[in-house]
Chains A and B, each alone.
Chain A
Amino acid sequence: MTLFQFLFGGLMLGLVLVELTLQLSGRTRRTVSCLRSSVWLLALFLILVPDATNRVAGWLSIGRGADALLYCTAVGFPIGFFYLLHAVERQREQITLLVRSIALQRPYFQPNQPASHTTSAAPLGQSHNDGPRA
């Protein structure tokens, strides 16, 4: 066993144990925990059996195992990037919709509106009492 296998294999094993502990104590969702654990276990397997990637690469007619990992990264990175970008954009739109909805429902000031009908929306961190009422 090389020093690399010892250090990083130990790290992956530690992460698997942490996931297991979290799952047993009910502090994480089972599906998410299983997904994370499978990533750590796969990494642990590839660290301890480095020839496995070479064999997989051979089956796929790629050549070296390192090339197979590189191709997987090259394909996986853009997919992950666009997935995250889409998620961020969707959240941005939803936050704006929420902020707009509150602004429209609770105008800060409307002339000729009885005071009881107008409730101001204050920016976060500011008191609702600092603004005027109609």
Chain B
Amino acid sequence: VIIPAFNEGQRLSAVLQGLATHPWQVVVVDDGSTDETARVAAGAGVIVLRHLINRGQGAALRTGLEYALMHGATQIVTFDADGQHSADDIPRLLQTLQRDEAELVLGSRFLGTAPGIPWHRRCLLRMAVLLTRLTTGLRLTDTHNGLRAMTGPAAAKLRFSEDGMAHASQILSLAARLKLRVCEVPCSVRYTEQTLSKGQRSSAAFRILGRLAIARLLR
């Protein structure tokens, strides 16, 4: 389980406690945090990688994936550090991989539950779904969810280069281009005051669009 984390010292401990009851190997990638993130993760006894400087969630995720592949991981889960996700959803994703129904399994809050989701966030996510459908042809219900599972070979093929939040869109774009089998399973995403306080602002959507446009222009 790969957890990219940036200044999540306060919330990471609870996230790691939730995962500790399961037998998975957890890798926390501290993306150049200035707080106690790395120390908290190390205290929980999980593998900790550390970026010298902050490079973004996409870069941290890719670092974690590279580490997992270097160590022969056959199934890899990506998980957010802010406590939005529930570790209890992971077995459902892995079972879908194990049944060979897909190479990339995405958690969907709109198939599952998302209590407390702000209306503007819901609208933006719906627009992202529509945009993804138009640009990739993938018929999904939730395109920017950090909870995913993938096989080792699929992770090796998904060589995304976006360092920031645009990586989620790039992963889907690559999956469509590589013709990976993609499916969604229901998951729960919790929105609390804490998660919303540090979570992405809605304006980040425009930054993501800008990044995707630049990537299209230059590649």
Specify the chain B residue showing the minimal Cβ separation from A113: B47
State whether A121 and B66 are in contact (beta carbons under 8 Å apart), knowing that A86-B218, A109-B42, A131-B42 are contacts in the complex: no
Interface string of A81-108 (1 = CB under 8 A from B): 0100110010011011001101110011
Other-chain residue from A104, A120, A124 in contact with B53 (beta carbon distance below 8 A): A124
CA distance in complex: A104, B70 (Å):
9
Are A104 and B66 in contact, CB atoms less than 8 angstroms apart? yes
Q: Which of B28-36, B82-90, B125-133, B174-182 contacts A (4 or more CB under 8 A)?
A: B28-36
- Which residue, of A107, A108, A126, has the highest number of chain B Cβ atoms within 10 A? A108
Contact across chains for A108 and B42 when beta carbons are under 8 A apart = yes
Q: Decide if the interface of chain B is mainly helix, strand, loop or mixed.
A: mixed
A85 lies within 8 A of B214 (CB): yes
**Shortest distance between the CB of A91 and any CB in chain B (Å):** 12
The tally of residues in B whose CB lies under 8 Å from a CB in A reads: 31
Expressed in whole angstroms, the minimum distance between the Cβ of A131 and any Cβ of chain B is 6
In the complex, the answer to whether A107 meets B163 with C-beta atoms within 8 Å is no
B63 interfacial by beta-carbon distance below 8 Å: yes
A108:B59 contact, CB within 8 angstroms: no
Cβ of A111 within 8 Å of any chain B Cβ, yes or no, is yes
B50 close to A122 (CB less than 8 A): yes
* A121 to B46 Cα, complex, angstroms: 16
Contact A123 B50 (CB under 8 A): yes
A100-B63, A103-B29 given; A111·B49 CB < 8 A? no
Chain B contacts for A85, CB-based, 8 A: 214, 217-218
A50 at the interface (CB under 8 A from B): no
Partner of A123, one of B33, B43, B161: B33
With A104-B66, A104-B67, A131-B39 as contacts: A96 and B59 at CB distance below 8 Å: yes
Rounded to whole angstroms, the CA-CA distance of A45 and B160 in the bound complex is 49
Chain B residues with CB below 8 A from A124, complex form: 32, 52-53
What are some 28 contacts across the A-B interface (CB < 8 A)? A85-B217, A89-B218, A93-B161, A96-B55, A96-B163, A99-B53, A100-B55, A100-B66, A103-B49, A104-B49, A104-B63, A104-B66, A107-B49, A107-B50, A108-B30, A108-B38, A109-B38, A109-B47, A111-B45, A121-B50, A122-B50, A122-B52, A123-B32, A130-B39, A131-B38, A131-B39, A132-B42, A132-B43
